[in-house]
Amino acid sequence: MTSAAFEEIVEDFEFLDDWEDRYRMVIELGRAMEPLPDALKVPATKVEGCASQVWLHPQIDAGAVHFDGESDAMIVNGLIAVLRKLYNGLPPDEVAAIDARAELGRLGLNDHLSAQRSNGLRAMIERLQGFARSSSD
């Protein structure tokens, strides 16, 4: 089960026929995020496997996963924002159980990202789901 915030993105994407419009929406979602504090841009939060610089800072708050992140690439910042909508606020066991590839496929992202961006997105998902699995033990 995905979050209501992610379902809103799915609904919004259904009204956008053109991939360019969807791409712009992803970028706007990224621009709307608060920047990650420089103190959190450290090797421990850096995601390896991304073509751009990416930092994710996941936490458990009141039994739910919440994470912040940032990238130096606009589209990747947008992808982080989409992942935040997918995962934030859910219990760790639900985060770990989500088939992120299938959910992101509902947005058409799987078909429109370069191989490098897809690899980076996979690395971000693996980091977040690994965090969730380790937090639900």
For the annotated catalytic residues, the residue numbers are: 50
Q: Residue 50 — φ and ψ, nearest 5°?
A: -100, 140
Q: In Å, how far are 67, 74, 80, 81, 88 from 34, measured between CA atoms?
A: 12, 13, 12, 10, 15
Q: Which pairs from 25-28 meet CB under 8 Å and 24+ separation?
A: 25/78, 26/75, 26/78, 26/79, 26/81, 26/82, 26/109, 27/74, 27/75, 27/77, 27/78, 28/78
Question: Which of 24, 13, 20 is CA-nearest to residue 107?
Answer: 13
